[in-house]
Amino acid sequence: MMTDRWKVTVDPRTCVRTGLCAASAPKEFELDERGQGRVTADTLPASEEVLEVAESCPIEAISIADADTGEAVFPPES
């Protein structure tokens, strides 16, 4: 069963620093001193906004998993 909290990560090896995540959801994402996207908390409330940000990342550097079970939310496991 999915919970209402997600573990969201931005892969620093994949991120190309477009800043779209921080611009789209500034409470959940921020940019570090190099312009690299990062999450503002260890876990985030599950929300359509966070999912849309992950889906709109041009190189899929953002992944989301259920905070309790670790089950992939995005990208979906195939």
Bond before 45 cis per omega within 30 degrees: no
Q: What is the pLDDT of residues 15-50, one digit of tens each?
A: 999 999 999 999 999 999 999 999 999 999 999 999
Examine the pLDDT at 1 and tell me if it is beyond 60. Answer: no
pLDDT at 40: 98
The two tokens of residue 31 are 């940019």
The domain spans of the chain are: 5-66
CA end-to-end span of the chain, whole Å? Answer: 18
pLDDT at 23: 98
Examine the pLDDT at 70 and tell me if it is beyond 60. Answer: yes
Q: Which residues are bridge partners to 9 per DSSP?
A: 63
Q: Please calculate the CA angle 40-38-67 and round it to the nearest 5 degrees.
A: 60
CATH of 5-66, one of 3.40.50.2000, 3.40.50.150, 3.30.70.20, 3.40.50.620: 3.30.70.20
The two tokens of residue 35 are 């312009």
